[in-house]
Amino acid sequence: MNAIPSPLHRTDVPFYRPVGNECTLFETAYTNGLPLLLKGPTGCGKTRFVEHMAARLGRPLYTVACHDDLSAADLIGRYLLRGGETEWVDGPLTRAVREGAICYLDEVVEARKDVTVVLHPLTDNRRVLPIDRTGELLQAPPEFMLVASYNPGYQNILKRLKPSTRQRFLSIGFTFPDPATETAVVARESGLSDDRVAVLVRLAGRIRTLSGMDLEEGVSTRLLIYAATLIAGGLSVDRALEAAVIEPMTDEPDVQQALRDLIASVYG
């Protein structure tokens, strides 16, 4: 395996504030050719973490937002008609394997079931990608890494990773940062002062206690950054939170009003 490039002189590494040993674990997984699964709520920093680590490692990154219609062919590739001729076009997973890149499958459980079957040969000691349509058997180079993520708290029984797939990955559990870390992250990303961000983070903590009762999920760090960015840009707190927190989180009028009342109590 190639040595890991030092991040000390990189100026283009996306900002990420570690909350534990996740960076070391990612680097160790990469060095040893092991797949990695990130588990955690929406907007808690999983995608930014992968972007950060890919830049630190100096590897290209292919990110695939998985959805109900995503098939194995979308990842591997297909024949397309171009200029009157049929031409094979690699999908993002195939390109990542060929280039020794990092392939990140965001919310992998949302994809069709045939996707996980394709991943199995890449997530054990074989590290191969069979391409049935072309007859190729691609051997993944040492630099290739497969990373996937999902939100276990949001999935129903039909949207879970099978143990036969889940146990092929190392796994890191993500959650929302502690208040001090979240304040630093939101302030850094939005340009809003720490003291004003701290109130937003306190509000987020109160909203997250409602998760699972009136709300499917708590407010994400991503939405806090959006709200802080609007406030830093001159919008009033009420208008910023309406656009960045209340409306994105729920369509239920009663729940929206409950959120407004909660905001008023925090900012009152």
Quick one: tokens of 160?
A: 């879970």
CA dist 19 and 112 (Å) reads 33
pTM for the model: 0.87
**In this model, does residue 41 exceed pLDDT 80?**
yes
Q: What is the pLDDT of residue 159?
A: 66
Instruction: Band the pLDDT of 2: cuts 50, 70, 90.
Output: very low
Q: What is the pLDDT of residue 200?
A: 97
Tokens 């850094």 identify what position? 188
- Choose among 151, 152, 251, 246: nearest CA to 204: 246
H or E element at residue 176: none
- Cβ-based neighbours of 172, under 8 Å, separated by 6 or more: 22, 25, 26, 36, 37, 38, 39
Tokens 């009028």 identify what position? 253
Task: Name the residue with higher pLDDT: 10 or 76.
Answer: 76
How many CA atoms lie within 13 Å of 89's alpha carbon, on the beta-carbon side?
A: 10
Cα separation values, 256 from 207, 217, 220, 242, 246, Å: 12, 14, 16, 9, 6
**In this model, does residue 5 exceed pLDDT 50?**
no
